[in-house]
């Protein structure tokens, strides 16, 4: 994966700083709606982590999965089940268990479906997602269709010394923000490594990768497990934020929404997945205020994006930076030539 152009890198830094400053100045900007927007931004950043995990599969490896919500919701339910009813569970206990359960579920699912491709892979991921959905929907120990509640957020402390208070919404906001930055940086580093280059090669030409002596199935399975684990981490953060999980967080609809985020943002760029999450949620809020049938308007927008901007928002930004770079190069090349012409014209 190539290095981000300086203008885009600077844009992402500016946006990150603005988001980080929102808890400090947001109340002066939005007044009584500060808590709502703080919660909304936290939710969008959590969904951005899920979108990043899906972009690893769809945009980088070429596997269209509709199962990310399964790992998202599974980790949320795991957090609720391992937590005592009226006592905060230690984050050092909950975090590895939630990630481990998500990784194991992704591994088992991947072993069964990784040999499929195309529409068959998509249908298989939908099938497994719906299996988990009905399992949680019909099980009494998970709250059934009513969902389950987390009464106390995980405790982040060492030797009795509290490091972070996740009950504080601002603290949780910054935890999610740091998590998003860390996941993005981790995936960028991962994709610049040889393993990541192989994933890109698998997407372009799987047969050629196999002819080079590599087993594409192994690398696709590892990518699937990593993506499932990251989605599970986001699910744990979501359960921590709202203190509630429901079967809807496991169903394929959430996965479809995340896929739309990746398409809107631009597949295979990573930063596009984050932009797509913010764009999707922004459009969702706007359309929902107009009509309860907001999915119809969202569908029209997605169709328009595919037709007009097939590479998404990120593709548009990359194209603009390429044009800007090319213009600067042409100007620099033309400057010496113009100077030479003027010098020659000035000679007797």
> 59-84: per-residue pLDDT in tens?
999 899 999 999 999 999 999 999 98
Distance CA 178, CA 182 (A): 6
Q: For residue range 82-138, list pLDDT tens digits in order.
A: 998 888 899 999 999 999 999 999 999 999 999 988 899 999 999 999 999 999 998
pLDDT, residue 311, reads 87
Q: Can you tell me the mean pLDDT for 280-290?
A: 87
Q: So what's the pLDDT on residue 1? A: 63
Residue 148, SS3 per DSSP: strand
- Can you tell me which residue has the tokens 């987390």? 150
pTM listed for this prediction: 0.91
* 95/60 Cα distance (integer angstroms): 27
Contact present, 317 and 325 (Cβ < 8 Å): no
Helix axes 252-265, 294-308, angle to 10 degrees: 40
Mean of all residue pLDDT scores within the chain: 88
pLDDT of 102: 95
State whether residue 91 is helix, strand or coil: helix
Residue with tokens 């979501």: 238
Q: How confident is the model at residue 348, as a pLDDT?
A: 47
How far, in Å, CA of 266 to CA of 305, rounded?
Answer: 10
pLDDT at 213: 86
Predicted local distance difference test score (pLDDT) of residue 303: 87
**229 neighbors 106 (Cβ within 8 angstroms):** yes
Q: Which domains does the chain have, with CATH numbers?
A: 6-334 (1.10.3470)
For residue 148, list its beta bridge partners: 245
């Amino acid at each position: 994966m190539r290095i981000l152009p300086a203008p885009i890198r600077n844009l992402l830094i500016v946006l990150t700083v603005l988001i980080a400053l929102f808890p400090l100045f947001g109340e002066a900007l939005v007044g009584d709606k500060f808590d709502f927007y703080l919660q909304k931004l936290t939710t969008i950043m959590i969904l951005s982590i899920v979108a990043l995990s899906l972009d690893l599969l769809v945009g980088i490896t070429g596997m269209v999965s509709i199962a990310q919500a399964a790992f998202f919701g599974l980790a949320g339910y795991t957090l609720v089940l391992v937590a005592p009813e009226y006592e905060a569970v230690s984050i050092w206990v909950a975090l590895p268990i939630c990630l481990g359960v998500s990784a194991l579920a992704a591994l088992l699912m991947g072993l069964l479906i990784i040999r499929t491709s195309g529409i068959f892979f998509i249908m298989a991921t939908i099938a497994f997602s719906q299996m988990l959905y009905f399992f949680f929907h019909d099980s009494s120990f998970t709250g059934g269709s009513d969902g389950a509640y987390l009464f106390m957020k995980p405790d982040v402390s060492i030797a009795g010394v509290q490091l972070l208070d996740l009950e504080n919404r601002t603290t949780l906001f910054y935890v999610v923000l740091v998590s998003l930055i860390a996941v993005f940086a981790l995936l960028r580093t991962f994709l610049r490594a040889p393993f990541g280059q192989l994933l890109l090669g698998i997407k372009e030409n799987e047969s050629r990768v196999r002819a080079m002596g590599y087993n594409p199935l192994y690398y696709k399975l590892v990518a699937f497990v990593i993506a499932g684990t990251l989605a599970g981490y986001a699910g744990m953060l979501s359960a921590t934020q709202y203190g509630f999980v429901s079967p809807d967080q496991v169903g394929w609809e959430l996965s479809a929404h995340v896929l739309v985020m990746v398409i809107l943002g631009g597949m295979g760029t990573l930063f596009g997945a984050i932009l797509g999450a913010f764009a999707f949620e922004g459009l969702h809020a706007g359309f929902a205020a107009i009509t309860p049938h907001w999915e119809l308007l969202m569908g029209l927008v997605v169709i328009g994006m595919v037709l007009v901007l097939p590479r998404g928002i990120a593709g548009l930004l990359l194209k603009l930076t390429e044009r800007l770079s090319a213009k600067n190069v042409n100007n620099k090349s033309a400057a010496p030539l113009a100077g030479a012409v003027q010098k020659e014209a000035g000679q007797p």
